Structures are given as structure tokens and as C-alpha cells.
Structure 1
Amino acid sequence: MVTPIYAAILAFVYLFLAKRVISYRREYRVGLSDGGHLLLKKAIRAHSNFSEYVPFTLLLVLLVELQQPSFTAGLHILGALLVVGRLLHAYGVSQEVEPLKFRVYGMVLTGSVMIVAALWCFFLAIT
């Protein structure tokens, strides 16, 4: 199985992003929302965006793997691109002065993985 490797890697990224939110909450003494602190707001969005895209995309990759387990090279490519995309996006969103290119590249990679996996799932399901 290939997908569990990337699920594990992404779980560690998720935990890192969560820890960053918790650290800012402690630093700024904010229990809910962002308290008007820009870095906390950005950390929350990086964590939330990760939570919004990763589970569904991983599910699509897993469904591809379950239908075509022998195509490990393609699955590794999808997994690696998802990890890189999520790291780029999280980095870009988290900066006080956002370098937009990291966020854009991150979303392009993430969206591409989602589209390819969805189309691949669909094609495998109808053939």
C-alpha cells in the first residue's frame, strides 16, 4: 500500500500546523477566533485549509490505489505532489507578508492531484 505512507507524512504536517496555532493562542492569550492577531489568523487558515483539502484528496488517492494497486509509481507521484503542494501552501499562507507564489503553487499542485485522482477513479470505475 502506498497511500498510508503519504497519509502518515501529512498527519505530521497537520500536527505541526495545529501546534503552531496552539502556540500562537498561548502567546497571544486567545482562546477562540484570532483576537485580531495577523499571525494567529494566518496559522488558523493554514491549518484549516489543510484540513479542508487533504482528507478528500487522500481518499481519492486511496480509491485509485484500491482499484489499481499495481500502479505504485503513479500513486507515489500523486502522494509526493500532494505533500509538496500542502507544504508550499502552508508556508505561503503563514508568512506575515505573504509570498503569493507559494500559495498559488501549493493550490495548483493540490488541485491537480485532486483532479487527476478524481478522473482516474472515475475512469477505473466505469471501465
Structure 2
Amino acid sequence: MATVTALYAGLCAILLIALAARVVQFRWSKNVGMGSGDDRLNQVRVRVHANATEYMPMALLLMLIAELNGLGALWLHILGALFVFGRLLHAFGLTWGKGGYHPGRFFGTAISWTVILVLAVIDIVKALGAA
């Protein structure tokens, strides 16, 4: 069973829905059917949600592969918690920075990329070791 990955997949799903809800709330309040309605804040909200949908699947897939190949629960929790923290930091940073530079955006992205790269290397090493 992949219970650790299941935990972080659930947390990521909740975050993804929360980010989507911010976009939907804006669209309803401004009667915008699609897109951002040329509103800068909603462009940022749309981008924050899109960015999460771009990175979450790969991170979770790599985590699942690592878990199924025997990576210890402690490492999975460290990497999973870091990834969720990075995604939260990115979302808040991009929003607070109004789409520009903000330390939260930078560090959130850096953490997310680092977790993905670490998991990728772990998976590659495990695959080569099994061959």
C-alpha cells in the first residue's frame, strides 16, 4: 500500500481545490465566464492554480514510485511535507507579490523543484539498482 503518498495526494488535492475556489469565487463575483476578465489579481489566481496543476502530478507520481520501491516512510514524509509547504509558499508568495517577485514565490518554487529532483534521482537510482 502507498499510504504515505495517499496522505500527500489528499493534501495536494485539498490545496488544488482551495486554489480553484479562489478563481471561481472571483469569476462569480465579476460575472466572468472564462479567463481572468483582464483583472490582474485574477490573472495571478489563475496562474497560481495552473502552476499547482503543473507540478503536483509529477511530484506525486515520483513519490508513489519511490514508495512502491521501498523508500522509507520518514523520507517520504520529509519530501511530501516539503513539497506541500513549497506549494503553499509559492501560492501565497505569488499572490502577495501580485504576480511579481516575492520571496515566497522564489522559495516555494525552489523547494518544489528540489523535491521533484530528489525524488527523480531516488527513482532513477532504484531503477538502475534493480536492473
In the superposition, the TM-score normalised over structure 1's length comes to 0.95
Runs (4 or more) in structure 1 with deviation over 2 Å come to 95-99
> Which residue matches 2:64?
62
Gap change, CA 1:116 and 1:32, over 3 Å in 2: same
- Which structure 2 segments of 5+ residues have no match? none
> Which residue matches 2:74?
73
Gap change, CA 1:21 and 1:72, over 3 Å in 2: same
Taking only the aligned residue pairs, the percentage that are identical comes to: 37
Residues 66-108 of structure 1: CA deviation (Å, up to 9, x unaligned): 0015x11000001000000000001111236456100000001
Give the residue type in structure 1 aligned to 2:117.
I
CA contact (8 A) 2:96 2:102 kept: no
Q: Which secondary structure state, in structure 2, belongs to the residue aligned with residue 2 of structure 1?
A: helix
Larger mean CA deviation between 80-89 and 31-40 belongs to 31-40
> 2:96 & 2:25 partners in 1: Cα distance?
16
CA contact (8 A) 1:39 1:96 kept: no
> Which residue matches 2:46?
44
CA contact (8 A) 2:22 2:45 kept: yes
Gap change, CA 1:96 and 1:30, over 3 Å in 2: farther
Q: How many residue pairs were aligned?
A: 126
Give the residue type in structure 2 aligned to 1:3.
T
Give the residue type in structure 1 aligned to 2:18.
F
- Which structure 1 segments of 5+ residues have no match? none
> 2:11 & 2:97 partners in 1: Cα distance?
26
In the superposition, the TM-score normalised over structure 2's length comes to 0.92
